[in-house]
Amino acid sequence: MPPLSPPDAQQFRAALGMFATGVTIVTARAADGSLVGLTANSFNSVSLSPPLVLWSLARSAGSMPVFSQGSHYAINILAADQKELAQRFATRNIDRFAGVAWREGAGGAPVLDGVAAVFECANRSQYEEGDHVIFVGEVESCAARPGSQPLIFHGGRYYTELPL
Ligand SMILES: Cc1cc2nc3c(=O)[nH]c(=O)nc-3n(C[C@H](O)[C@H](O)[C@H](O)COP(=O)(O)O)c2cc1C
């Protein structure tokens, strides 16, 4: 199928932007010990038993070789006070982990300090679709910080929750 033409592509983006999401940073440790991580809002739950989650990564992402070949990754769910971290992990040509506090999770994947929740995942399966690859992770361990407020992304802007 050909790519969408400009008005349709714009409409597609605008419609997607109406689906408010949380914001994650997905991290992994490369075989050479270096760390990779990127901001991703394509996260979602898949299955309770077994516990499965998914996220998708652009084929063009620099971190694709590490995620596609690695055994584990950590999905860090950002808290409302971590907007700068979200922006930093979407910025190219910087040391994203400079000054960032983290601990080693399953398979060496960095679990970031101060996150609202984390899912430590085994890299279970991958599905190539269009210009992205869908990653399904098997959750080996997860934790939520009680009382923390999530960072929310909607229509290109960041928010925090406002209960109705
Ligand atoms: C809020 C937000 C959500 C994003 N979600 C995704 C996503 O789900 N998948 C993706 O591949 N890129 C996503 N990006 C873009 C990546 O963070 C960005 O392209 C990053 O530079 C990719 O890193 P890499 O090339 O080092 O792998 C998102 C960016 C922002 C700001």
C-alpha 91 chain-centroid distance:
14
Task: Categorize the per-residue pLDDT at 1 as very low, low, confident or very high, splitting at 50, 70 and 90.
Answer: low
| Span 97-112, average pLDDT | 98
Angle at 101 between CA 34 and CA 26, to 5 degrees: 55
The full set of domains in the chain, from first to last, is 22-151 (2.30.110.10)
**Would you state the pLDDT for residue 2?**
66
Percent of the chain with pLDDT over 70: 99
The 3-state DSSP class for residue 128 equals strand
Percent of the chain with pLDDT over 90: 96
| Span 126-139, average pLDDT | 98
Atom from ligand 1 closest to the CA of residue 96? 26
Give the Å distance between the CA of 38 and the centre of ligand 1.
6
Measured distance CA(119)–CA(117) in Å, rounded: 7
Give the Å distance between the CA of 75 and the centre of ligand 1.
13
Closest protein CA for atom 30 of ligand 1: 39
Measured distance CA(142)–CA(127) in Å, rounded: 24
Give the Å distance between the CA of 39 and the centre of ligand 1.
5
Closest protein CA for atom 4 of ligand 1: 40
| Span 33-37, average pLDDT | 98
Protein residues with CB under 6 Å of any ligand 1 atom: 23, 38-42, 56-58, 61-63, 86, 90, 92, 153
The 3-state DSSP class for residue 87 equals helix
